[in-house]
Amino acid sequence: MIPLRDDQPIFSTPFVNYFLIVLNVVVFLWELSVGMQSHRALNAFMVEFGVVPHHTLAVLTGHSYASLATAILPLFTSMFLHASFLHVAGNMLFLWIFGDNVEDYLGHFRYLVFYLASGVAAGATHILLNQGSRVPSVGASGAIAGVMGAYFILYPRARVLIWFPPIFFFHVPAWLMLGYWFAGNFLSGTVTAIAETSQTSGGIAFWAHVGGFVAGVVMINVFSERPQRYRYGTW
C-alpha cells in the first residue's frame, strides 16, 4: 500500500520540508561515496553515526568510557542516514506527502523542531525496547512517523490516493491509511519482540516507528497553530 498524494491544501511554501528531503538525499549520496571506498568504511560510518542501543546505554549507565556525545549525537545523525535507495526513496515519498501540511500548520521553525524531536523520540523508543542490540539503526522513518502522527490528528478526513500494486488505485481517508500503517508497525514490533530476534538481528525498527508516531500525536497537541495561517489563502 503506497501513498501517492493527498488532497489537503497548504497555504505556505514548505521550505523546511523541501530542505529535509534534499538533505536526506545529499547525505545518502555521501554514503554511497563512502561505500565506494570500501564496505568496511561504510560499516564503520554506520556504526559511528547510527543508533546502537547497547553502546548508547553503556555510555549513559557508566559502563563505557566513551564520551557522552557518542551516545547522544547518533539520535540526530541517524535520522539522515539510509540503508538503500529504496529506503531513502520510500521515506522521502511519505515526507513529501505528509510533511508539507504539518509545516503549514506549525510554521517553518517549529516544524523543524517538531521533526527533530520526533526523530529523537523514535530513537529513544528503539533503544529502550532493543537494549541488547549492537546493530546500528538508521533512517528518517522515526521522524517521519511523528509527522504522520501529527497529520493523523490534524487532517483525519483528508483523502490519500493509494496504489496497491500492481494495478489498483483508490482514495482512502487519512485516518484509515495512517491508522493501518501504525497498527501494522505495532503488531510487527510485538511479534518481533515475542520472537526475541530484535536483540540479535537488523531489519525494520518497528518500535522506532511506533515511538515516533505516538510522539507526533502527543506533541501536535502541545504545539499551537501558527498565527495568521490563512492570511494569504483563498479559503
51: left (phi over 0), alpha (psi -120 to 50) or beta: beta
pLDDT at position 133 over 90: no
Q: Which of 183 and 37 is assigned the larger pLDDT? A: 183
The phi, psi pair for 234, rounded to 5°, reads: -95, -15
- Residue of 128, 144, 157, 125 whose CA lies nearest to 216: 144
For the chain, give me the number of helices (H) and strands (E)? 10, 3
Is residue 102 included in any domain, yes or no? yes
- The tens digit of pLDDT for each residue in 33-74 reads 988 888 888 899 999 999 999 988 888 887 777 788 888 999
Is residue 224 included in any domain, yes or no? no
Specify the residue for cell string 513529501: 96
Is residue 47 included in any domain, yes or no? yes
Residue-level pLDDT at 65: 72
- The tens digit of pLDDT for each residue in 89-132 reads 999 999 999 999 999 999 999 999 999 999 999 999 999 998 88
Residue-level pLDDT at 204: 77
CA–CA dist 26, 201 (Å, integer): 28
pLDDT at position 150 over 80: yes
Mean per-residue pLDDT, 206-231 = 87
Q: Report how many domains make up the chain.
A: 1
For the sheet with 159-164, list strands across it.
Answer: 2-6, 159-164, 168-173
Q: How many CB atoms lie within 10 A of CB 5?
A: 13
pTM of structure: 0.90
Is residue 110 included in any domain, yes or no? yes
- Length, in residues, of the chain: 235
113: containing domain? 2-219
Residue-level pLDDT at 166: 80
Name residue 172's beta-bridge partners.
Answer: 160
pLDDT at position 196 over 70: no
Residue-level pLDDT at 164: 83
User: What CATH number did the domain enclosing 97 receive?
Assistant: 1.20.1540.10
Mean per-residue pLDDT, 152-165 = 93
Residue-level pLDDT at 234: 37
Sequence-separated (6 or more) residues with CB below 8 Å from residue 140: 20, 24, 79, 80, 82, 88, 91, 92, 95, 119
Is residue 91 included in any domain, yes or no? yes
pLDDT at position 13 over 90: yes
C-alpha grid cell for residue 38?
Answer: 570500501
Per-chain mean pLDDT for the chain: 89
Residue-level pLDDT at 228: 67
Is residue 184 included in any domain, yes or no? yes
Is residue 77 included in any domain, yes or no? yes
pLDDT at position 235 over 70: no
pLDDT at position 199 over 60: no
Is residue 235 included in any domain, yes or no? no
Share of the chain above pLDDT 70, in %: 92
